[in-house]
Structure 1
Amino acid sequence: MRTLRYDLPASLVVFLVAVPLSLGIAMAAGAPLAAGLIAAAVGGIVAGLLGGSPLVVSGPTASLTVVIAGLVHTYGWQATCLITILAGGVQVLLGAFKSARAALAVSPAVVHGMLAGVGIVIALAQLHVVLGGSPQHSAWDNLVQLPGQIADLHGHKVMVGVLTVSVLLVWSRLPKHVRAVPAPLAALVVAAATAWLFHWNVTRIDLSGALGSWSLPELPQGDWHQIAGAALLVALLAGAESLLCSVATDGTHTGPRADLDKELSGQGVANVVSGFLGGLPVAGVIVRSTTNIRAGARTHWSAVLHGGWVLLFALCLGWTIRLIPMEALAALLVFIGIRTISLGHVRKVHGHNEVPVYLVTLTGVVVIGLAEGVLAGLALAALLALRRLTRVTVDKREEPNGRLHATVSGSLTFLGVPRLTAELRAIPARADVDLDLNIDFMDNAAFEAIHSWRLDHERLGGTVTIDELHDEWYSMAASGARMFPAKSPPKPAGHWWLPWTHPRRRTTGVQECRLTQGAAEFHRRTAPLVRPIFTELAGRQQPSHLFITCADSRIMPSLITSSGPGDLFTVRNIGNLVPCAGSEPADDSVGAAIEYATRVLDVHTITVCGHSGCGAMAALLGGPATTAGLPQLGSWLRHGAAGLDRLAAERGPDASLDRLCRLNVQQQLENLRTYRRVDEQVRAGQLKLVGLYFDIATARVHVVPPRSPALPAEPGQR
């Protein structure tokens, strides 16, 4: 196989990591030590061959230690093996019914809290072993009896534990070629060699006859409801960890993606085989999987080979395990348990305000039990999610015209009614209110709250205008129509304001194709949102502004003024020029627009908007030679000559293109006054002339005041 040169060395690295961890997990679970090696071999070979994640390495996992220890204590080891078989059968069924994705719905805060809680439980229990004693059956008892255990130290056993932890701490700081040996293996080798060399009085591990003394799993004695619940718990916890491990490893390599349903079924078959052979439950283990990927593995054969090495070691070199002090294994588990409490995980859940879920899960696992702690964390996560989904925000502000503008956002359910009612009743009586409902759902309780407030407010002399930005939940409820059965689907935000050449637009082909693509995007995304507005505008237009600006493709009047359909009556030409009334050469286009805007549309404002880097003004600065080959453009630019004359008359230090662009705006405002109708309306206070200047580089809009004897050097910002 072409990948064997990568998978073979990677499998050896994972094997060296797997052996000490498997032995330690078996010891912490109160199971025979051989059960850990059996589970590691079966997890590697069976799950590696049948699973759907090519680089995940399976074996006994620390997260199940607490559960397995409780099962061994309650039913005995042989009965626990049968529960493992049942759990594997459940996983096979779940995989067959394509339910693997459901496990990913578990909040990461619950998962991290569970792992941290299990780590604390393991660390407290194995700390007693390191100190020469025996662990108790609960984390609380271990904690209570810890001071007495510390007072009654067993010298050599404690020294072995301290030595093991010391090696684990310093190993990552050693040279890279030394760190090629996995830290757990190095720590156990150093501890075993030191204990043997100095003849320390430590507890030895004995595997003699353990692999050969196989017996059939036994039927658990007790309430079958509890037995079924235990099997289901093992299946769900092991399956969830395997699937989360698969998803995590997918993000660290570029190979084939994981088939989660196949992975779950493969893990189930591995658990059936492991339980039948007398092994621990197996799951995908993140530590071994990341080690596998970092060692350069390419396919599932690395995991399979690692399982073969574990089996070969157990059969041929199992006698070497007698050299390992049990206190060293316990110290390894204490170190691993503490490492599960990751500050990085805490920071992640803190960023999403899920620290309470993490802490409740952790505390529940430590104080009550693993199943209870996980259920408590899931319940709290569900409550917080429900609270977020039903959160209501009410923003209020007073408009310059004296009206009060209020915006209600969120999903309006009965849970948000108290907050909604309090905010609405805080609005002063007899106020004129514009109420925007930016909501995606409204139940009857929320409708009654808004409707009752509206009736009361209007009865006391106020006015309420309700505008719904999405589906008409309020209007339909008020008319007695049938409400929508579910939340409004989210309206995808288009990127209409981005250039076609921008990567996020993802348009291809010639310009005509881009236009048709843009039209299709408008129909798909934007048209449903603006159709009600255009329906109202279809009969007639009533713009309030005549907007005269440059034909430059970088200027978007509606974007830079935050205006909508029907607001601006727009005239665009090169240089945003306004020919004087009766000027030569004559130009009726701009004059016709001015005439129509002031006599028919009755606009209130005429705006002339220039911009930085205007090509027309640059051509004026360049002189007639610039437009020598463009006779029509040269003729048109004569209407901007007055601005160039002004720039020459100033003779100031700012005789630049930017200054000319601003002076041109002022000159065109004066040219507007040459139209009799415009001048009359300005003098009567019926029409306002405004100058704007758009700085393209900074995307800032500046107000350009009319010309005065004391012209400010820099116009104010809008």
Structure 2
Amino acid sequence: MSNAAVSSPNGAKLGFGAIFSRDLTASIVVFLVAMPLCMGIAVASGVPAERGLITGIIGGIVVGALAGSPLQVSGPAAGLAVIVFEIVAKHGLSTLGPILVLAGLVQLAAGALRMGQWFRAISPAVVHGMLAGIGVLIVAGQFHVLFGDKPRANGLENLLAIPGAITGLSVSTFGAAEAALLVGVVTIGSILLWEKIRPAKLKLVPGALLGVLAGTFVAMGFGLDVQKIAVPESIAGAIAIPGMADFAKLADPMIILTAVAVAFIASAETLLSAAAVDRMHDGPRTKYNKELGAQGVGNLLCGLVGALPMTGVIVRSSANVQAGAVTRASAILHGVWILAFVALLPFVLRQVPSAALAGVLVVTGWKLVSLDHVRHLFARYGLLPALIWAATFVMVVATDLLTGVLVGLALTVVELLPNLKRMRLKIAQQDVGEKEQEIRLEGAATFVQLPKITKALDAAPDGGVVRLDTRALTVLDHTTTEVLSEWVKSKERTGSKVELPNACVFGERLRAAGAH
């Protein structure tokens, strides 16, 4: 990096020293957030904790250097824990590597073919329904770990077994189940309490870290006989390179379909997270195809060393932005700190109880189950998007992640049926004055046309006036409305002014969705 001044995410000019100081501080914050999540998500996925740490290292050092979203942080994601658990249960841990290699190649090809914008066309109802379903499955699975037990084979079994786990507790004796529950409850309670009372000066101290520390100190202080996480003496000992017999399994069509599903879900979660990160700062916007390619490289490498799949993750990314990160150096450094910690202090990690990590994941999973999203969809767009959310949610919990997403996407197509004969969209873009541009949309603005729409929107210059004319639209679906609304807010954060037509139903819909 040169000594020239660089703009921070809030638009201020910073010199090299200030940039390095902010990135260094942010990287430490993200490292503290990432450590318990990397291990916890690995355990929830049914794989050794160190595999999640390796993914965090690759996500930081490699993907951080290549990312199209400089302030986004990549690593193991709770959203993929369910599908990884199913892969390991059905096909064995050794099959995960080849699946990730193929998934990474799919992502690389998608980035090279400039398909990044298509992932933005996925309905918010499907995405939030999927995340809510994943949240329930994570809570249900980790609930049993809180009782010193192992998760069952699928989500429904986990849910049905919860009453038995509760009634199996003993009031008169204090055994392994009661000890694990005490550690988990202390962890969860510490996280929730910290979120309530955290002083402003300590807002960057992550609750997950404090929760794990509290659970660990309780286990050590009372000498509780609880299961601890297993970490090898050397991080190199955690690397498991797939053999030719493992890659031969890719001849199975079901394995190929699973790899494509992993690539699709990981890409969607990454690019939606990147869009959310863009809303948090005024710095460089995400280059979606570049980000997709970077994720492909990351998952390819994770597959070659037997680690967990990765995505861009919103919890670590938001911590990065809030901690004041300016460049991609923060994400890269957080990977360096994970590597250094695992290489030099593995004995510290071996003191962490599994129930403490389960407590972190119970809180993480519960936060994914947000009813605010479905309320927003119903209030803004009516019954159909809310039904899409509900159907995706129920199918993810009752069947599996891929089936739930496919059902949600199929229902999204239903929204198009009344308009099949009028699906054409014309976009006219012209300069109407100095630093003034008009974008006119005419016809049907649906998720099918979103790549075309976003290409035109992204070409609008920053700093001037943009008139978004929607008066000639005949259709504006909820997915496109959300994208347009977020674009308006993003442009206004860069100093542009976006004008919407008055007395226009679609202009009013955009205002109702949050655009001005």
TM tier relative to shorter chain = 0.7 to 0.9
The Cα shift of 1:184 comes to 0.2
Distance 2:59 2:342 in 1: 15
Aligned AA for 1:167?
A: S
Match of 2:240 among 192, 212, 215: 215
Runs of 4+ in 1 over 4 A off after TM superposition: 486-492, 503-506
Counterpart position of 2:133 = 117
Counterpart position of 1:270 = 298
- Say whether residues 1:158 and 2:158 are aligned partners: no
- Say whether residues 1:363 and 2:388 are aligned partners: no
Which runs of 5 or more structure 2 residues have no equivalent in the other structure?
2-15, 170-176, 440-468, 472-516
Give the percent of matched residue pairs that are identical in Structure 1 and Structure 2.
39
The Cα shift of 1:255 comes to 0.8
The Cα shift of 1:220 comes to 5.5
Task: Write the mapping of 1:117-516 to structure 2, written as runs, cut at 5 A.
Answer: 117-153=133-169, 154-174=177-197, 175-209=199-233, 211-213=235-237, 214-217=239-242, 218-219=246-247, 221=249, 224-351=252-379, 352-353=381-382, 354-387=385-418, 389=419, 441=422, 487=424, 489=426
| TM-score of the two chains, using structure 2 as the length reference | 0.75
Q: Which has the higher helix share?
A: 2
Distance 2:257 2:437 in 1: 50
Aligned AA for 1:63?
A: G
Larger radius of gyration: 1
Distance 1:20 1:355 in 2: 34
Q: Secondary structure at the match of 2:284?
A: coil
The Cα shift of 1:222 comes to 7.4
Distance 1:270 1:525, change over 3 A: closer
Distance 1:323 1:179, change over 3 A: farther
The Cα shift of 1:490 comes to 8.6
Distance 1:281 1:222 in 2: 17
Q: Greater shift after overlay, 221-230 or 63-72? A: 221-230
Counterpart position of 1:592 = none
The Cα shift of 1:223 comes to 5.7
The Cα shift of 1:211 comes to 2.4
Distance 2:372 2:267 in 1: 24
Q: Quick one: higher RCO (CA 8 Å, sep 6+), 1 or 2?
A: 2
Distance 1:344 1:220, change over 3 A: farther
Counterpart position of 2:93 = 77
Aligned AA for 1:203?
A: Q
Distance 1:525 1:308, change over 3 A: closer
2:274–2:286: 8 Å Cα contact kept in structure 1? Answer: yes
Aligned AA for 1:162?
A: V
Aligned AA for 2:210?
A: A
2:44–2:142: 8 Å Cα contact kept in structure 1? Answer: yes
2:392–2:407: 8 Å Cα contact kept in structure 1? Answer: yes
1:61–1:282: 8 Å Cα contact kept in structure 2? Answer: yes
Distance 1:386 1:184, change over 3 A: same
Distance 2:128 2:257 in 1: 23
Question: Any idea what the Cα deviations from partners look like across 1:406-440, whole Å, max 9, x if unmatched?
Answer: xxxxxxx6xxxxxxxxxxxxxxxxxxxxxxxxxxx
Aligned AA for 1:333?
A: L
2:138–2:361: 8 Å Cα contact kept in structure 1? Answer: yes
Distance 1:99 1:491, change over 3 A: closer
Distance 1:325 1:27, change over 3 A: same
The Cα shift of 1:505 comes to 10
The Cα shift of 1:525 comes to 12
Question: Any idea what the Cα deviations from partners look like across 1:383-421, whole Å, max 9, x if unmatched?
Answer: 12334x36xxxxxxxxxxxxxxxxxxxxxx6xxxxxxxx
1:491–1:525: 8 Å Cα contact kept in structure 2? Answer: no
The Cα shift of 1:488 comes to 7.7
Q: Secondary structure at the match of 1:106?
A: coil
Which runs of 5 or more structure 1 residues have no equivalent in the other structure?
391-412, 414-440, 442-485, 507-523, 527-718
Counterpart position of 1:52 = 68
Aligned AA for 1:12?
A: I
Counterpart position of 2:501 = none
1:28–1:122: 8 Å Cα contact kept in structure 2? Answer: yes
Q: Secondary structure at the match of 1:58?
A: strand
Distance 1:112 1:488, change over 3 A: closer
1:191–1:328: 8 Å Cα contact kept in structure 2? Answer: yes
Aligned AA for 2:375?
A: R
1:41–1:307: 8 Å Cα contact kept in structure 2? Answer: yes
The Cα shift of 1:366 comes to 0.3
The Cα shift of 1:75 comes to 2.0
The Cα shift of 1:21 comes to 0.3
Distance 2:425 2:398 in 1: 43
Q: Secondary structure at the match of 1:131?
A: coil
Q: Secondary structure at the match of 2:96?
A: helix
Aligned AA for 1:160?
A: V
Match of 1:6 among 18, 22, 40: 22
1:61–1:283: 8 Å Cα contact kept in structure 2? Answer: yes
Question: Any idea what the Cα deviations from partners look like across 1:185-232, whole Å, max 9, x if unmatched?
Answer: 000001101110111121111212462323321325376211111111
Distance 1:73 1:176 in 2: 44
- Say whether residues 1:18 and 2:57 are aligned partners: no
Q: Greater shift after overlay, 287-296 or 144-153? A: 144-153
1:79–1:220: 8 Å Cα contact kept in structure 2? Answer: no
Task: Write the mapping of 1:558-577 to structure 2, written as runs, cut at 5 A.
Answer: none
Aligned AA for 2:61?
A: I
**Size of the alignment, in residue pairs?**
407
2:96–2:306: 8 Å Cα contact kept in structure 1? Answer: no
Aligned AA for 1:161?
A: G
The Cα shift of 1:350 comes to 1.5
2:391–2:404: 8 Å Cα contact kept in structure 1? Answer: yes
Question: Any idea what the Cα deviations from partners look like across 1:16-56, whole Å, max 9, x if unmatched?
Answer: 00000010100010112111000001001111111111100
Q: Secondary structure at the match of 2:415?
A: helix
Distance 1:157 1:384, change over 3 A: same
The Cα shift of 1:347 comes to 2.2
Counterpart position of 1:428 = none
The Cα shift of 1:261 comes to 0.6
2:191–2:211: 8 Å Cα contact kept in structure 1? Answer: yes
2:48–2:230: 8 Å Cα contact kept in structure 1? Answer: no
